[in-house]
Copies of this chain bind each other. A is one copy, B any other.
Amino acid sequence: MINVKGKSPKHSPQAGIRCDDCPIQNVCFPKELSHQELKDISAASVKHRIVHQGEFLCHAGERFSSIYVVHSGFFKSIKRFYNGYEQIIGFQMSGDVIGLDGIASNSFASDVIALETSEVCLIDYTTIESDTTVKKLHRHFDKVFSREIIRLQNMTLLLGGMNANQKIAAFLINLSKRFEKLSYSPSEFYLRMTRVELASYLGLTNATISRTFTQFKNHDLIKTSGRKIIIHDYEKLLSIILDNSLTQGF
């Protein structure tokens, strides 16, 4: 298991940054804003913070209220898995935005840790929302956005951290869940894609897909005939994803 952990957080003082002469103000605000608008908005909804090396900018699960923009310094963001596996899913430097994954569920989806002493700007998410009736719709689409970001984050975990067995088990379980949500059978369904398409999706080759399906069949985890999939042992599929050692074992 790779150690990508950060130190426990310490005190985080305020930084002395002003938005109106910030060289990366175009990251935080649209160019079309007048000088006065920018001043007003930044006064109302922007704060600044210093984060020292090794400190957490935010923790996965922590309540979301601000989007962060890196003013100076360097961060890593980490996604953790239930079994303790963790993987870096991004490095952020000056001008990069952190925390977009927090909007979907009002809590951050990854840990972010400073790799050197850094300054960040906090943009208060609640105050940049509009007051009109369309606000609801915007809020809604922000969540859609954020969910897509989380999905892609999970995709990087899968592609960067899993072997072929794990990837395919994860794929099957994911599909099973999605079918169940739509009130279709979670244990018996047809794939709509070819093996080649599946291979492209999972960063594998179709030969490996085939072999792994065969392997899963031989261990009575699933039954397949062509595109039809029957999941026999959901729990074992899950354990393959979570526990690397099992993967080799069977």
Binding site for B on A (CB under 8 A): 2-4, 27, 29-30, 32-33, 37, 41, 67, 74, 76, 86-91, 93-95, 97, 100, 115-116, 128-142, 144-146, 148-149, 151-153, 155-156, 159-161, 178, 181-182, 192-193, 196-197, 199-203
A197 engages B76 (CB within 8 Å): yes
On whether the beta carbons of B115 and A32 are closer than 8 Å, the reply is: no
From B87, B135, B156, B196, A152 is in contact (CB under 8 Å) with B156
Contact yes or no, B129 A134, CB < 8 A: yes
Number of copies: 2
Distance between Cα atoms of A135 and B32 in the complex (Å): 11
Q: Which of B30, B88, B144 contacts A97 (CB under 8 A)?
A: B144
> Which listed residue, B116, B133, B182, B192, touches A115 by the CB 8 Å rule?
B192
Chain B residues within an 8 Å CB radius of A145: 100, 142, 145-146, 149
Considering the chains assembled together, what is the distance between the CA atoms of A155 and B81 in angstroms? Answer: 19
Contact present for A136 and B33 (CB under 8 Å): yes
Residue contacts A-B, CB under 8 angstroms, 8 given: A2-B196, A76-B201, A88-B197, A115-B192, A128-B137, A142-B145, A149-B149, A160-B203
Q: Separation in Å of the A176 CB from the closest CB of chain B? A: 12
Query: Smallest CB–CB gap between A220 and chain B, Å?
Result: 26
- Contact indicator A93/B178 (Cβ below 8 Å): yes
Query: Inside 8 A of A89's CB, which chain B residues have their CB?
Result: 155, 201
Residues of B within 8 A of A146 (CB): 145
Say whether, besides A95-B181, A152-B152, A196-B2, A141 and B128 are in contact (CB < 8 Å).
Answer: yes
Contact partner of A131 among B132, B149, B181, CB < 8 A?
B132
**Least Cβ distance of A138 to chain B in Å?**
6
